[in-house]
A and B are shown apart, each in its own frame.
Chain A
Amino acid sequence: MKILTCPINGPRNISEFVWGGEVKEMPDPATATDAEWSEYLFLDNNRAGEIFEWWLHAPTNTWFIAHRNTVTDVVLETMTVDTYFARRAKAERAEEEA
């Protein structure tokens, strides 16, 4: 069986996890068109390469982020949601400063 590492609970069988889709920006629900909103809800980019995804460790109800290569199906890293967004904010700040 495949093993995925939950950032809180450690390595577990893949059967304990539920895929939650790609990490993507939510359009403003007040101003989004129907097309934008349904794209957000139902469509994925399905990019071949490294992507960030939501995963759920079902027994603990822990949502976290996995960095996965969709071509090789290798999970490069898993991290808590806090870690992911802290890193992203830092990267954005660095970009602004540059």
Chain B
Amino acid sequence: MIDPAASAYRSPLYRRLATDGAVWREMNDTVVAASVSRRGAGGDIQITDLSPLPRLGFKGRGTIPAMQARGIIAEATPNQAFRQADGGLCLVLGAGEVILLPNLDGQGERLAQLEADWRIEDEERTYPLRRRDSHAWLAVSGKALPDMFSKICAIDLRPNKFADLSITQTSIAKMSAILTRADVGGKTVFHLLVDSAAALYFCNCLLDAAAEFGGRLVGLNELQKSEGG
């Protein structure tokens, strides 16, 4: 039996997931909910907790050139995400800030390497930030996405208005959040990064908003299935 609490990188939502009957799976240096068993198939909204997966931020005036020098695809266009060759994402939040997300296999070596290789002596005017500690990460998908988000967010998130790889940094359910649209296998997926200390509140808000659409928590296996198309 896998104990999520034993992992140093357990999700801030592990108790909530356990309540819904999560089945755990070991993944690199952490434990993720592979599936969340609850009666009734997922309705029009599926919420996946990706918080245990690695992620890393960089900040500073020289961030974009520093990322490009490391072979990361990124341009200085705020609120735009860039898909990487390995399926990961580089979120460009501002002229001098990025967050790097891995693909759904959650391989963290590359990110760990980026953090370890950073040296202040290089004077690149950028510095790493451990976004795995600061931000919880939820992926929300499903047919009812725009309808559901219109209840908790003032931004027009309809697919024809909010293109793939767009980012909006706004207030969602009264919390500051970074919302990125990054479609997986032709399916619209919103990646949400929010303060990890309030992750449970935020997750409950999402579930509350999703309730009328039959929304529920699902495991990573389900999201990975959509990756296959």
Contacts and interface: CB of A to CB of B under 8 A. Distances in A.
A59 B176 contact: yes
A9 B171 CA distance: 12
A15 B176 CA distance: 11
A9 B94 CA distance: 10
B78 interface: yes
Contacts of B168: 9
The secondary-structure label for the interface of chain A is: loop
Q: How large is the interface on B (under 10, 10 to 19, 20 to 34, 35 or more residues)?
A: 10 to 19
Interface in B97-121: none
A8 B78 contact: yes
A8 B154 CA distance: 17
A91 interface: no
A32 to B, nearest CB: 30
A8 B170 CA distance: 12
A37 B113 CA distance: 47
B79 interface: yes
A13 B94 contact: no
Q: How large is the interface on A (under 10, 10 to 19, 20 to 34, 35 or more residues)?
A: 10 to 19
Interface string B33-46: 00000000000000
B154 A9 contact: no
Interface of B: 78-79, 93-94, 154-155, 168-171, 176-178
30 contacts: A1-B154, A8-B78, A8-B79, A8-B94, A9-B78, A9-B79, A9-B168, A9-B169, A9-B170, A12-B154, A12-B155, A12-B170, A12-B171, A13-B154, A13-B171, A15-B171, A16-B170, A16-B171, A58-B171, A58-B176, A59-B169, A59-B170, A59-B171, A59-B176, A59-B177, A59-B178, A60-B93, A60-B94, A60-B169, A62-B94
